[in-house]
Structure 1
Amino acid sequence: MSVQYKKNRHAAYLLHAHIVFVTKYRRKIFAPAHHDAFREAARQVCAEFGVEIEECNGESDHVHLLVNYPPSIQLTRLINSLKAVSSRRMRRQFADLVAAYSKPVLWSRAYFVSSCGGAPLSVIKEYIENQQG
């Protein structure tokens, strides 16, 4: 398998991050339609940042993303945008998400992010693909 490095004016790179968002209070509120809406919101946010989503899936209380990003991106800014935009859009689209919380929230304040240099990407992709969603 040959590695396809990305290039811009000043760098050649291949950066991947595994990101996990958990619902507030770990409530099991996501159905397949919610995951589809999250994927669409994440796709739009990532496109604005110049980030590629390689995999996106999850279960009833969390979502996983595997992204390929340029070195100019600050992951914290990307993550904050992903959480804010997806929360706002999904709560606007689904009344059941609004009813699940007394305040306008969806995600826990915490998140998980890991660079993917240690494990083969195929292992991480397979893990995310096997999430229920």
Structure 2
Amino acid sequence: MYKINKARYSAYLLHAHIVFVTKYRRKILGELHHEAFQQIAGEVCADFEAELRECNGDSDHVHLLVEYNPKVQLTKLVNSLKAVTSRRMRAEFNDLRGAYTKPVLWSRSYFVGSCGGAPLEVVAQYIQNQRG
């Protein structure tokens, strides 16, 4: 399904599952907010030479599946995604601006998990069986 990417001295296929939660878990995101978020997040990912593969969520959180290259520092990508989407969405939607007394949208915390490839049990078994 996915093509393995190649650089001069490496081959890679890296995906991250990222989740942002609204501040105080307030249920403030609607369909228009999710559409705007997806567009903005796609632009931020492109700036990092990454690709937003999937994006969806509910009224109080968003999920992203991002394909990235080894040069990308995930913490910098995540922080940029949170900052830029928060700033631009609050500028575009008055209801988000009025939801909080401070200029915030996302909780300070986030989830990021590596994904793709074989399950961990299969990789572990493969490594264990390497010695002849």
Cα distance in 1 for partners of 2:36, 2:43 equals 11
Question: Normalising by structure 2, what TM-score?
Answer: 0.86
Cα distance in 2 for partners of 1:83, 1:9 equals 31
- 1:128: which partner in 2? none
**2:70 counterpart SS class:** coil
Q: Deviations over 1:99-131 (max 9, x none)?
A: 1000000000000000004677xxxxxxxxxxx
Runs in 1 of length 4+ with deviation above 4 angstroms?
none
Cα distance in 1 for partners of 2:106, 2:117 equals 28
- Report how many aligned residue pairs link the two structures: 119
- 2:89: which partner in 1? 90
- 1:100: which partner in 2? 99
Cα distance in 1 for partners of 2:97, 2:28 equals 11
- 2:47: which partner in 1? 48
Query: Partner letter of residue 103 of structure 1?
Result: K
**1:4 counterpart SS class:** coil
Q: Deviations over 1:51-88 (max 9, x none)?
A: 01110000000000001100110000000000000000
Choose 1 or 2 for highest CA Rg.
2
- 1:109: which partner in 2? 108
User: Structure 1 residues 44 and 27 mapped into 2: Cα distance closer, same or farther (>3 Å)?
Assistant: same
Query: Partner letter of residue 14 of structure 1?
Result: L
Cα distance in 1 for partners of 2:51, 2:20 equals 17
Aligned pairs (5 A) from 1:56-75: 56-75=55-74
Cα distance in 2 for partners of 1:35, 1:70 equals 25
Cα distance in 2 for partners of 1:77, 1:93 equals 24
The alignment's C-alpha RMSD in Å is 1.4
Question: Normalising by structure 1, what TM-score?
Answer: 0.85
Cα distance in 2 for partners of 1:80, 1:7 equals 26
Structure 1 spans left out of the alignment, 5+ residues: 121-133
Cα distance in 1 for partners of 2:51, 2:107 equals 24
Cα distance in 2 for partners of 1:21, 1:15 equals 20
